[in-house]
Copies of this chain bind each other. A is one copy, B any other.
């Protein structure tokens, strides 16, 4: 199934970009694997822990760990090539964001959660991995200040949930989510669209 294929490819792609971040921090091969696992699998794990949805995906299917570690370690000799393929990875990451979001929504729908939680579950699945990566790399998470990312996930989740609620066939709803979410993310990168910033410089407290 195409959906599954995109999931695996996007997971591997996010492991590879995480490996580059680990390399910038001069981590060893083990650190590279851990950062890759946390980035690629941390969003889904955070969602499952918050929603009490066990077993976690990688505990149920440990092959996910192997795919992520192989992708991360393969990045080491290929780092210069991967770094040159910026747009390939941005596109894979955007596809992954849409897929992860819909998977997260599906989990929350399956648990009978209300609409807000369904959309939040999609966003957590798509976004938290990158936050955990930045925390482990000792940086303020990029997610909180760069181009639209979580917003794309929220929009995608809302379309997906609304489409299913209105009874459209699942294939059409998935297609609609891709057709809105993917170009939105790509346009946000190209035009540097971001949410407005809140800059507060007074150090009163």
Contact = CB atoms under 8 A, between A and B. Distances in A.
A22 interface: yes
Nearest to A202: B83
Interface stretch (A95-103, A132-140, A161-169, A173-181): A132-140
Interface string A53-92: 0111001001001100000000010011001101000000
Contacts of A187: none
Contact of A50 (B17, B27, B59): B59
Contact of A140 (B49, B52, B120, B136): B136
Contact of A131 (B86, B136, B145, B200): B136
Given A28-B194, A30-B144, A196-B28, A114 B23 contact: no
A45 interface: yes
Nearest to A144: B31
User: How many interface residues does chain A have, given as a range?
Assistant: 35 or more
B200 A79 contact: yes
Contacts of A26: 145, 197-199
A117 interface: yes
Q: Chain B CB within 10 Å — which of A79, A120, A141, A203 has the most?
A: A141
Nearest to A136: B141
Contact of A24 (B17, B65, B139, B200): B200
B198 A28 contact: yes
Given A27-B145, A30-B150, A141-B136, A22 B59 contact: no
B138 A34 contact: no
A30 B149 CA distance: 10
Nearest to A26: B199
A154 to B, nearest CB: 9
The 9 closest A-B pairs by CB, nearest first: A31-B144, A23-B200, A28-B195, A62-B116, A52-B54, A27-B144, A23-B198, A29-B195, A138-B140
